[in-house]
């Protein structure tokens, strides 16, 4: 029996790539501070929170508490800055919402390893254990730039090639999709992220490449803001562009017709009483 395809929850993206296939390696690339982690958090929201798909996250950049705040903001619609730095400014209702969704994030069917700068062999060993013993169905990595190898201080392209080869082999061996973020350029025009990524050896091991292509000047943005992402490689079909909505206050992404709207349903209020 074929393993099910995991939908990303982004309508335009699923329409083009079909979803995440067992054994697939997907790279989400962008210049610094363009939203790679936020987009990965949105995928976790859509896949693991909404549908209970058991996941394993290697957070190689952000400590576990920081990444959880991204998830709470993405799920609840509460501003990330307030959650992270000024939680005392939340209203009584917002604080109840914050507690409720923090509880849900803490109880997600997802294992999180926030060891910084992890060796690729350790990642493979941990992933094998979690898939075989705990039934993990999808692996998330933020950010593959911080994976090192036994090659020591080798050139970037050598390390990239080895990491991508091993991640692809791991995805096929475990028969689960692996989604990883990566910084691929310092600017976005005319298309340096694409050039910098495709100039690296090992690119053939990546099945789907999704790139942020628009420069974002935060103080000029209205929230919400429509952004265009490009599917630059798709081994399963067509390439093309997708449009998503970006919310500046929550630094999260969603479908064009969706908006993160925090509510406290009557039937869920009891969840917030765990504190």
pLDDT tens across 89-136, in order?
788 888 888 889 999 999 999 999 999 889 999 999 999 999 999 999
Predicted local confidence at residue 89, as pLDDT:
77
Nearest-angstrom CA–CA distance, 33 and 127: 28
Predicted local confidence at residue 117, as pLDDT:
85
Predicted local confidence at residue 9, as pLDDT:
96
Nearest-angstrom CA–CA distance, 96 and 75: 14
| 3-state SS assignment for residue 258 | coil
Proportion of the chain above pLDDT 70, given as a percent = 81
Predicted TM-score (pTM) of the model is: 0.86
Predicted local confidence at residue 257, as pLDDT:
78
Task: For the beta carbon of residue 13, count every other beta carbon within 10 angstroms.
Answer: 23
Quickly state the pLDDT bin for 222 (edges 50, 70, 90): low
Structural domain boundaries of the chain?
11-274
Nearest-angstrom CA–CA distance, 218 and 207: 31
Average pLDDT, the chain: 84
Predicted local confidence at residue 264, as pLDDT:
42
Class of domain 11-274: alpha beta
Q: With 80 as the cut, is the pLDDT of residue 220 above it?
A: no
pLDDT tens across 229-266, in order?
999 999 989 999 999 998 887 888 999 876 544 444 44
Predicted local confidence at residue 262, as pLDDT:
43
Quickly state the pLDDT bin for 21 (edges 50, 70, 90): very high
Q: Any idea which of 106-115, 200-209, 211-220, 251-260 has the lowest mean pLDDT?
A: 211-220
- Do 48 and 54 contact (CB within 8 A), yes or no? yes
For 79, half-sphere exposure in the C-beta direction (CA atoms, 13 angstrom radius) is 13
Nearest-angstrom CA–CA distance, 55 and 197: 26
């Amino acid at each position: 029996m074929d393993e099910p395809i995991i939908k990303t929850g982004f309508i335009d993206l699923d329409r083009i790539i079909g979803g995440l296939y067992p054994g697939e390696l997907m790279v989400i690339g962008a210049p610094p501070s363009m939203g790679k982690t936020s987009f990965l958090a949105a995928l976790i929201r859509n896949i693991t929170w909404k549908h209970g798909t058991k996941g394993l996250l290697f957070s190689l950049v952000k400590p576990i508490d920081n990444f959880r705040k991204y998830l709470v903001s993405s799920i609840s619609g509460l501003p990330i800055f307030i959650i992270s730095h000024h939680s005392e400014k939340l209203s009584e209702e917002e604080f109840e919402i914050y507690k409720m969704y923090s509880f849900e994030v803490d109880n997600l069917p997802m294992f999180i390893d926030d060891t910084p700068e992890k060796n690729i062999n350790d990642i493979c060993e941990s992933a094998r254990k979690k898939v075989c013993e705990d039934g993990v169905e999808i692996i998330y990595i933020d950010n593959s730039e911080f994976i090192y190898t036994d090659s020591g201080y080798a050139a970037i392209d050598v390390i990239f090639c080895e990491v991508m080869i091993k991640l692809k082999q791991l995805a096929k061996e475990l028969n689960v999709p692996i989604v990883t973020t990566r910084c691929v350029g310092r600017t976005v025009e005319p298309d340096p992220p694409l050039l910098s990524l495709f100039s690296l050896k090992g690119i053939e091991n990546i099945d789907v490449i999704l790139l942020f292509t628009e420069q974002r000047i935060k103080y000029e943005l209205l929230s919400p803001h429509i952004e265009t992402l490009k599917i630059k490689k798709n081994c399963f079909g067509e390439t093309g562009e997708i449009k998503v909505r970006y919310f500046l206050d929550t630094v999260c992404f969603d479908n064009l017709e969706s908006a993160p709207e925090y509510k406290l349903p009557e039937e869920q209020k009891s969840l917030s009483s765990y504190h």
